[in-house]
Structure 1
Amino acid sequence: MKNKLIVTLTTVRGSRQYSLGQVARYLVIFFIALSAVSFFISNWLLVKTSDDLADLVEDHEQLNDQYEMMLGTQNLYKNELDQLSVSLSRVASQRDKLKAENIRMGDELYEGNNRIGELSATLGTSLNGLETLLNVEPTGDLSTERLESLTMMANQRLFMLNSIPNGVPIQAIRISDSFGMRMHPTKHKRILHSGIDYKADVGTPVYSTADGVVESAGNQHDGYGKQVVILHDFGFKTTYSHLNDIDVNSGEFIHKGQKIGESGNTGRTTGPHLHYEVRHLYSAINPAPFVAWNIANFDSIFTKVKSVKWASLKNLYPLNQIAQP
């Protein structure tokens, strides 16, 4: 019995014994050990996958926030600012009119002063909200001139945000590759990755990040597959590559947030994604500061992107109405 392994199986019909040789015994021990190792590896992979999934969910939520900023916020800001401008002008006009009137009767004078106080409070709250939206230092100034100045500043910022690329072009799963030097996945050599790669399922809508005109729309022969190139104001250009479908034509005028196609896997890729680039005078720029740019952090772009000569913008109309960076 030295080299034998006795296995006893018990059923409702009784017990039965089986004798296995030494080789079979080693196989059984190996199988048990392998099962134990597989159990621990599976649990480790499960924990790691859960952590990776949590990171992906966080990335997706951040991209959704940026996506909402790009698609909806600018229009929302514009509508709110238009309504606010009308409302503030009306309140300021009523207040100034009441101040100008010569109310001499006691009760009427008391009521008129109360009404002036109410209108001033409303105007102050609204102006403070506008200052907060624009992220400018509150002054406490409730004059019509301050209202006009803030309204002009808001409109100028919206003009810039519609003219220069900002926000994300797609509601993606995550960013799979950023701007910078990298080992190319198909060319197998270290070269500049001149944009941001957004991992997305085939057929995910792609949107223009600023107003402009389509320079080209079609299949490229340099590995980018189906691609749309849009020219914007002030020398900027954006490209959208590896598309599955294109919805615009060359020469067509495009507005910010307009759908221009759908993401895909065309050209030289290792998986479905959108390759997005921002260029200025043919030079590739890191899109990240433009993706994060919005009306509240408006001044950030002028310090983060140093390759553009922003200072000369202040000489352009209508930007020269209020000094720009």
Structure 2
Amino acid sequence: MVSSPYGHKYYNINLLFKHIIFYFVTFVGAVIFFILVVLHTFASEISDIEYKYNYIQNQYQNLINKHIDLSAQISNKKEETMLVADKIEELEGVIGISNNNNNYGLKSRVEIASITGLQKLFIMKFFPNGYPLNTYKRISSPYGYRIHPLSNTKEMHTGTDLAADVDTPVYATADGVVDFAKSGWNGGYGTIVKLDHFFGFKTYYAHLNSIVVNRGDFVRKGQLVAYVGNTGASSGYHLHYEVRFLGSHIDSKNFMDWNMSNFDKIFDKEKNVAWQSLLMTINNLMQQTPMEQQLLLLGQGLRVN
């Protein structure tokens, strides 16, 4: 009981204590429930984050593996491209294209090499070039004025003499037709083969031991036509080789040294040939001829010395 000037009040302590305990227990239960809910939510979030982390990590590892694989492929492609570029550079060197073409793309360089190469192959197939012998001892007498070994007089030597063993094979230096093939003296040439080539060129193969072609035969560049001998006005076994253009003899050594790698040099060395007119004619001819016919014309038996 609590007394005051206003009266007396009575309180039930047992009931109040029970209310306090009830509220306290309820509060603690609510707090524990809230904590459990929060912990469950956190656990779910952590599980979800772990799942996403593992997924991202797997994706990252896959990207790393793809990157490694792509890097290896790129490296291989670079090596292949470098090899192709080296081969194109070798081809450009063989057919005499300037290194300035390296400024162009690889595709353009391939196209330039193919077009220029085909034109040059055409020329090298039908114009005399290279040596008529695969093996020889020495050049025993060059083109030009000399003291003749038999007459001991100064005379113009119209060809190049290649000293070689008897019966060394003699090959045509360009496609053409056999214009003359005969044994005997033949004006000092002895046994001789004369070939008519395209665009006004002709080649002579003299002092032969024997011949294997006949007048009117078509021959290819690199085809066997005769064997080295010592017939006619000759002082030893050798091949007398001449190149003529429109009936006039020209320095055969320039044509013997002519090949794809030094293609342009012949234009400076040999001034007695109308090169500009010839090249324009060939260029126009090839532009008017389909590619398939050009390749057929070149044939499969091309032999470039």
Shared fold by TM > 0.5? yes
Give the match for residue 134 of structure 1: 95
- TM-score w.r.t. length of structure 2: 0.65
Q: CA deviation at 1:141?
A: 2.4
Where structure 1 has 5 or more consecutive residues not aligned to the other structure, the ranges are: 1-104
Give the match for residue 35 of structure 2: none
Q: CA deviation at 1:109?
A: 12
Q: CA deviation at 1:320?
A: 7.2
Contact 1:123 1:142 in 2 (8 A): no
Tell me if 1:315 matches 2:285.
Answer: no
Tell me if 1:167 matches 2:133.
Answer: no
Deviates more, 1:115-124 or 1:242-251: 115-124
Task: Name the amino acid aligned to 1:308.
Answer: V
- TM-score w.r.t. length of structure 1: 0.61
Task: Name the amino acid aligned to 2:158.
Answer: S
Task: Tell me which structure has the larger Cα radius of gyration.
Answer: 2
Q: CA deviation at 1:287?
A: 0.8
Contact 1:124 1:142 in 2 (8 A): no
Q: CA deviation at 1:234?
A: 1.7
- Structure 2: distance between partners of 1:118 and 1:185: 60
Are residues 110 and 204 of structure 1, via their aligned partners in 2, closer, same or farther at CA, if it must alter by over 3 Å? closer
- Structure 1: distance between partners of 2:230 and 2:282: 42
Contact 2:85 2:106 in 1 (8 A): no
Task: Name the amino acid aligned to 1:313.
Answer: L
**Partner SS state of residue 129, structure 2:** coil
Are residues 310 and 176 of structure 1, via their aligned partners in 2, closer, same or farther at CA, if it must alter by over 3 Å? same
**Partner SS state of residue 276, structure 1:** strand
1:198 to 144, 155, 162: 162
Contact 1:226 1:242 in 2 (8 A): yes
2:232 to 267, 272, 278: 267
CA deviation profile, 1:98-143 (whole Å, cap 9, x unmatched): xxxxxxx974898398276455434433322322333421424234
Tell me if 1:180 matches 2:144.
Answer: yes
How many residue pairs are counted as aligned between the two chains? 218
Contact 1:156 1:319 in 2 (8 A): no
Give the match for residue 107 of structure 2: 144
Contact 1:213 1:230 in 2 (8 A): yes
**Partner SS state of residue 165, structure 2:** coil
- Trace 1:79-228 onto structure 2 (pairs within 5 A): 107=66, 111=70, 114=74, 117=78, 120-135=81-96, 136-138=98-100, 139-170=102-133, 171-219=135-183, 220-228=185-193
- Structure 2: distance between partners of 1:271 and 1:265: 6
Contact 2:192 2:205 in 1 (8 A): yes
CA deviation profile, 1:244-283 (whole Å, cap 9, x unmatched): 1100011111111111111111112222211111100110
